[in-house]
Structure 1
Amino acid sequence: MNKKSFARDIVYIAIFVVLMVIFTLFVSIPFFPVPLTFQTVICVMAGLLLGAKRAGLSMFIYVFMGLVPAIPVFSGGKGGPGMVVSPTFGYIIAFIPTAAAAGAVRGKLPTASLKRYITAATAAFFVCYAIGIPYFLIIWRFYMGNTDIWQAALTFNILYMPKDLILCLAAAFLSKKLAPVLFSRE
């Protein structure tokens, strides 16, 4: 890896960290206990545009930043190590494998077809929810003491799935259009 490509990687990673912060803090609708955000779509786009390693690293940096008490970048301006006992932290930690999965399934740019982008976005969507829902239910039941976990699953998780799936598919279309423009010089 030469210095130019290393610098470009750092810039791409930083852009998606910043996009996560912006779409978390400024494009978010508070809703208990799971706020309506566009984090999943940014995470998936990171994977589709950056590939598995760079996207996973960008999401790791975002999660790490949020766990630092002085950098509250999670939804609602929250942050710090106490977030690990928040029901929504499972989704936050899931951003790392979600982005990596999108990048891994997408394959090489620019040869990936739209079908490949859609498949990658859909796979990433399922990775996010496969980690987020169980984490939510464990915290909801054992830490918060709520007994009706099925009601919690329906009310606070499953109802968000159609929105996120539609946004992930939109991310696939948008990423397929952006990839040739963003990476024409690589």
Structure 2
Amino acid sequence: MMTSLNKALDMVAILFRWLATISLLIMVSINLVNVVVRATLDQAFGWVFPWTLLLFAWMLFFGFYAYVRGKRDVVVDVIMIRLPKPLRILGGLFACTVGMLFMIAILRAAPSLIVIQQTKMDMIDLPLWARSLPLFISSVLVFLHMLLNFIQIATGQVTPFEKVDTLDEPEVQT
């Protein structure tokens, strides 16, 4: 079951990376068209700015999960990598727990935010809560990612904060 969940979370991360990329592509394209039309015809499309804001939020929120899943988030492990294995395990479990609690805090606010954000966005026929929907979806996925990581650490499948050599220095020939 954990292998299936791992694969599913990886597939969603790939999808979210694509959605973030497509959001960026659309933002750049509509703004480029708007600049060209403004420069050549002295007119501007008023809908470009609200759509750019929406797509920017979506890009960030979709990218949030994709980067956490891809372990591209910022990890300050200067101290943790120097600790003995049992303390690194405790630290990993603690980090996962804090991450899950933070995601729960975000998700606890979701229902009340959705209820009060029923008005439509300016120039976009979508309710305000549509702007933050990818954040809530990403938060569920990050929670599952952290839970899976917690289980893997607790069962000994993964050892957190292993020292990894990221710079492979070429050998000097003498």
TM-score (norm 2): 0.32
Q: Using CA pairs below 8 Å that are at least 6 residues apart, which structure has the higher relative contact order? A: 2
- Decide which structure has the larger Cα Rg and report it: 2
Between structures 1 and 2, the one with greater helix share: 1
TM-score (norm 1): 0.30
